[in-house]
Chain A
Amino acid sequence: MNASPTPAGDAAAEPHLPPVTQLAMTSLALIVAGGIYLASHIPNSVPLTPAIVLLCASVALLAINLALLARVPDFAWRRFFEVAKWALLAYAIIAGMILYAFLRDSLSGGPLVVLTLSLVVFAVHVPLLIGFTVARYDTPANT
């Protein structure tokens, strides 16, 4: 297969985009911190408030990211969904495996709810990030 690279100047024409990657990494870091907080106190009962605050902040960043992305003009949405849907499937399986390990250990109550919601954020935010990273370099003609 022969490939003709585009002229070097094309990259300069990339549109200004919101800080989706930075927000997503912060959101992931928050749920990881919440997970570490809960895991490091097992089997003692531990106040859930810090973990819930971290989870809420992470969900808020996910919502902000979605809102910012939705307002980008001429974004390659077709490419975004093409990539994100398969990534969502893959990361839903990964999150399911991790959740299965928690359930196998009879984790229940508040910690299970917080960890499950954290895994949901993880399984949504990573595909969003992958879809965004691919679509940002695609042409708006593919919307």
Chain B
Amino acid sequence: MQVAKMAAGTATADMATAPVAPPAPPAFERPDFQIVPRAGLPIVAVVLVLLVVGIAVNELWPLVFLHVVGGAAWTIIDLFLGFVLGPVIGRMSPPAKVELTTRLMPKMVLIMPTVVTVTLAAGWQLGTFLGTVQSSYSLHGWIVASYIVVGVMAVIALGLLEPANIAVLTELKKERPNPQRIEKLMKRFIYCAGITGAMQVATLVIMTKLASA
């Protein structure tokens, strides 16, 4: 936001002295980055292979491992981004915000879809293995509630958060990034992370109830 304010402030000051088009705001340092970090792709491939093997083997420990590790990572990242890092980013100076964004967001492009896929696919297989996805299961209502929570989170993450993430990085790659666009997209990203973070609290309630049943 401060980049935008800075730009708007420069324009206002200039308008007071001469009626000319606002000059470009001062340049800021922007680290070089890849929108999709290629170095991370082999790690993603290994994780997906582990997921396929875990589902194919269909034994309790690999499925619990994949579901719990993936789910824990998903929950913690959402909560941390939504309630800790999000508000911190909002108060950062424009150069610091840009530097953090260019270093953090490309990693999120790989981490979040991988973690979500592993959690959901392993979770479904685990539910089938344990019989908890059957409608005869005593806590079936809680299971359906978890589907709904995950469904809402998925729609928000896929429809708003992920496109905003990619769009911010693409904008930052441009020779002349637009601070207003970055600000708008970052706000969308942080609000979405906050909403999914809040929904992760519901996930924690449901999963601990199921685990202790």
Contact = CB atoms under 8 A, between A and B. Distances in A.
Given A5-B178, A97-B117, A134-B163, A33 B52 contact: no
Which one of B22, B23, B98, B163 has the highest number of Cβ atoms from chain A below 10 Å of its Cβ? B163
A8 B179 CA distance: 7
Contacts of B144: 36, 40
A4 B32 contact: no
A93 B47 CA distance: 13
Interface string A102-137: 101100000000000000001000100110111001
A70 interface: no
A93 B162 contact: no
Interface residues of B, number: 64
Contacts of A90: 113
A3 B163 contact: no
A100 B55 contact: yes
Chain A residues touching B, majority SS: helix
Interface string B1-43: 0011001100100000000011111111111100010000000
A32 B52 CA distance: 23
Which one of B56, B159, B176 has the highest number of Cβ atoms from chain A below 10 Å of its Cβ? B159
Contacts of A67: none
B7 A100 contact: no
B8 A25 contact: no
Interface residues of A, number: 49
25 contacts: A3-B27, A3-B28, A5-B25, A5-B27, A5-B176, A7-B22, A7-B25, A8-B8, A8-B22, A28-B159, A29-B151, A35-B147, A36-B151, A39-B133, A39-B147, A41-B135, A90-B113, A98-B117, A98-B120, A100-B52, A100-B121, A101-B55, A137-B167, A137-B178, A137-B181
Given A5-B176, A100-B55, 9 more contacts: A1-B30, A2-B30, A7-B23, A8-B7, A8-B22, A40-B140, A86-B36, A105-B128, A134-B166
Interface of A: 1-11, 21, 24-25, 28-29, 32-33, 35-36, 39-44, 79, 83, 86-87, 90, 93-94, 97-98, 100-102, 104-105, 122, 126, 129-130, 132-134, 137-138
